Amino acid sequence: MSDTLPFLAKGLVLGFSIAAPVGPIGVLCFRRALERGFWPAVAGGLGTAVADAAYAAVAAFGITAVSAALLGHQRALALVGGAALLWLGARAFFARPAERAADAPAGGARGGFAAMFAATFLLTLANPATILSFAAVFAGLGLVGAMRAAAAAAVLVAGVFAGSMLWWIVLSGTVSALRQRVPPAALGWVNRASGVLLGGFGLWVLRGALAQG
C-alpha cells in the first residue's frame, strides 16, 4: 500500500491542477452553482472528472489503440465541441434569470443532473489531445517507467479523479454560498457574461479545428 501512496498524491495534485484553470466547464459550473446551488454544479464537475480520469487511464495504461482512435478523430470532435459551446453560450446569453439567485430552484430534477453530467463529460472528451498532456506530464514526473504494475496506474488515475473532483467541490461550494448575496440586477449580467465567454471558447475551438484542415 505504501508503494502506491506517492502515485495517489501525484494524481491528486495533477487532477486538481488540470481542473483549476478557467475554461468553459468552469464557466458552466459557476453559472449552475449560482442559479441552482451546490449539487447541480457538482454534477457538472463530476462529468469533467470522469472524463479526465478516462483520459488519464488511457495514458497511464498505455492503451495506444484507444489513444490513436481518439486522436485520429480529434478534428471532428473539436468541431462538435465548438458548436456545442456556441449553442450553450447562446442559451446562457439569452436566458431569463430568476428574480434572485436564491429564488431559483435549488437541487433540481434528476434529469437536470444527468444532463449537466453528460454535457461536461462530452465537452471534456471533445479534446482528446488531453491524452498527450497526461502522457507528457507522466513522463516529466518520471511515472512512465515507475508504473510497472496495474495497481500503481489505477491508483494514479484514482488520484486524478479525486483531485479534479476536489476542485469542482471547492468551486461549487464557494459560489453556492454566495447565492443569497447576489443582487437581482447581477443575474442578467452573469448570464450575458457567461454566454460571451462560452461563445468565445466555442469560436476558439472551432478556429483551431478548421485550421487543422
Give the chain's count of helices (H) and strands (E): 9, 0
How does pLDDT run along the chain (213 residues), one tens digit per residue? 456 778 889 899 999 999 988 799 999 999 989 888 899 899 999 999 999 999 999 888 877 788 888 888 899 999 999 999 999 999 999 987 655 444 455 445 555 789 899 999 999 999 888 888 888 887 776 666 555 567 778 888 999 999 999 999 999 999 999 887 877 778 888 889 999 999 999 999 999 989 876
The pLDDT score that the predictor gives to residue 89 is 94
The pLDDT score that the predictor gives to residue 110 is 54
Q: How far apart are CA 44 and CA 42, in angstroms?
A: 5
Position 125, amino acid: L
Estimate the crossing angle of helix 38-60 against helix 5-19, to 10 degrees. Answer: 120
Q: How far apart are CA 53 and CA 28, in angstroms?
A: 20
What's the chain's length in residues? 213
Task: Name, in order, each residue with C-beta under 8 angstroms of 6's C-beta and a sequence gap of 6 or more.
Answer: none
Compute the Cα dihedral for 208, 163, 54, 173 and give only its sign.
Answer: negative
Position 204, amino acid: W
The whole-model pTM stands at: 0.85
Position 121, amino acid: F
